[in-house]
Amino acid sequence: MIWVTWAQHRREALVSGIILSVAAALLVITGLIILADFKSSGAANCAPAAGPAVGVFASGTSCEQVLGAFFSRWLTLTGAAWLALMTLPVLLGVFIAAPLLSREFEQRTYLFAWSQSITSLRWAVVKLGLFVAVVLVSAAALTVLVMWWHSPLDLAGHDGPWAAFDIQGLAPIGYAVFALSLGTLAGLVIRRTIPAMALTLFVFVAVRILIGALVRPHFMTAVTGSAPDLKQGSWVLSASYYADAQGHHVSLEQVNQMVSVYASTAPTTFNGSAVMDYLHRQGISLLTDYQPLDRFWPFQLIEAALFFGLAVSLFAASLWWLQRRA
């Protein structure tokens, strides 16, 4: 059955192999260039693990400028790479997983396969098992490479590794397996390739957006902290806002009113920090909600567990559907 799966899908394997090799080569080449720039521009010396405070009111130190310049130099490339890497699981789901079984039904070759001395359940389990194994290994290998590639940018960017949450760590492996399970089930249930591909595309993108935008920020209760003291590598969830000592929001109009009162009473030193000091004395502080750097890996674990869980359920649903033989 292993040989059979290979013989049947070597074309897909070849094309995927080429795409992944090209991606890996590009990552290695650009990764080396980024790393060289990271060192030669001095950004490497400015970026200790803890990172300097990067705040709203903080004055531009030279290190900040160096890091900022380094980060923006590679913004276009990282954006493009991010998009390409985000697309890979979609391609896997739409062009490999969705046709995997639907084409067998469409061309009725499943009848030939099932007419051999092997049960349809074993046929599916071995086939899918092999695909899962190959996808796991390739996704893991690619992700490790992406993490090396992105590591200088993790140190330089405000959000640290959070900026590339979707393409590094454990989550991308989860996305890949989920795409595989989704395409397989769609192909098995719909039995026609094009509709199965369309459904896979739609559901995959919908689930990714839904979890990424609405669920992920709440994996753990956000930390509320002083916006100016925000540590590098924090994932900022909200625009900074003013709050009183009890933590209640204070509207910008109220703050402006207080500032104008202050301006009329103590006009001697009227600059940003003096205003902040004054507001502080009034119990007003500038806050922001964020997820700190040390939650990156717990969040990766939760996100990956979520998508692996979905994948396992969808694979189970596929096998259940198959043995129903309705």
Partner 1 sequence: MSAALEAIALTKRYGTTPALTKCDLRIPAGHVVALVGPNGAGKTTLLHLAMGFLNPTAGDIKVFGWSPQAQPTIVLPRVGFLAQDRPLYRRFKVRDLLEFGRRLNPRWDGELARLRLERLAIPLHRPVGKLSGGQEAQVALALTLAKKPDMLLLDEPLSNLDPLARREFMQVLMDAVAEEGLTVVLSSHIIADLERTCDYLVILAQGQVQLAGEIEGLLDSHRTLVGGPSDRALLEHDTSVIHSSHTPRQTTMLVKLNGRPAAGQWEEHHVGLEELVLAYLSRPSGDSSTKPEPVEPAKLQ
Looking at the DSSP bridge assignments, the partners of residue 318 are none
Give the one residue of 57, 114, 202, 270 binding partner 1; rule: CB under 8 A: 114
Closest CA to 152 of 80, 75, 71: 71
324 lies in the site for partner 1, by CB under 8 A = yes
Question: C-alpha angle 230/233/237, rounded to 5°?
Answer: 65
x/- mask, partner 1, residues 55-94, rule CB under 8 A, reads ----------------------------------------
Phi, psi dihedral angles at 285 (to 5 degrees) = -135, 155
Give the one residue of 59, 76, 115, 221 binding partner 1; rule: CB under 8 A: 115
Q: Kindly state the helix (H) or strand (E) to which residue 199 belongs, with its residue range.
A: helix 193-209
Give the one residue of 56, 111, 133, 263 binding partner 1; rule: CB under 8 A: 111
Residues 88-107 that bind partner 1 (CB under 8 A): 107
Give the one residue of 7, 213, 214, 245 binding partner 1; rule: CB under 8 A: 7
Q: Least CB distance from residue 96 to partner 1, whole Å?
A: 16
Between 59 and 115, CB nearer to partner 1 = 115
Within 10 angstroms of residue 172's Cβ, the number of other Cβ atoms is 27
Residues 11-40 that bind partner 1 (CB under 8 A): 11
Between 8 and 282, CB nearer to partner 1 = 8
Within 10 angstroms of residue 186's Cβ, the number of other Cβ atoms is 31
- CA torsion 275-278-282-288 (nearest 10°) is 40
Three-class DSSP labels, 207-264: HHHHHHHHHHHHCCCCEEEEHHHCCCCCEECCCCEEECCCCCEECHHHHHHHHHHHHH
Give the one residue of 18, 53, 83, 118 binding partner 1; rule: CB under 8 A: 118
Between 4 and 145, CB nearer to partner 1 = 4
Between 111 and 206, CB nearer to partner 1 = 111
Q: Kindly state the helix (H) or strand (E) to which residue 286 belongs, with its residue range.
A: strand 285-291
- The residues that touch partner 1, with contacts defined as CB under 8 A, are 1, 3-4, 7-8, 11, 107-109, 111-112, 114-120, 324-326
